[in-house]
Structure 1
Amino acid sequence: MVEQDATYLSNARHISLIEKAVESLQAVNQGLELGMPVDLLQVDLTRTWEILGEITGDAAPDELITQLFSQFCLGK
């Protein structure tokens, strides 16, 4: 990742999620090069979409919600 771009991803959790999304997209690319069926590639594409949703707030996995409630005093 370019250092200049890293300044926009100040949250360590976001950086980790971006790295996971890149890995997932690389798996899709490799699958395309190997001629894998699209339905198999959809698994990695869906995973990438979910990861990016965690960053934008469009998806909130149960683990994240549990982590937020354990670290912050919400609703009190």
Structure 2
Amino acid sequence: MKLGEAKDNAGNDMLKMMQYVFPIVTQIQMEVIKKYGFSEGREGIVRFAQLIRTMEKDDAEVAHLHAQYRLARLTPVMS
């Protein structure tokens, strides 16, 4: 199942978002951050998220991009 299809299937249902959308987003994130030297799997995602939170305190562009990412990931649920 592709991301767009998963979002359409989930609609505004948070449980379905967690079942269908978040696993796809997580898989995509793991594949991308692995290319930049982060560990594969949950450990890499946790480390990446920690670094983003640290960096966004000092870098407005990183903070803006992180906010956009969070908004894009959650928009269907909030609508």
TM-score normalized by the length of structure 1:
0.35
Structure with the higher helix share, 1 or 2: 2
Please give the TM-score of this superposition, normalised by the length of structure 2.
0.34
Q: Answer with 1 or 2: which has the greater Rg.
A: 1
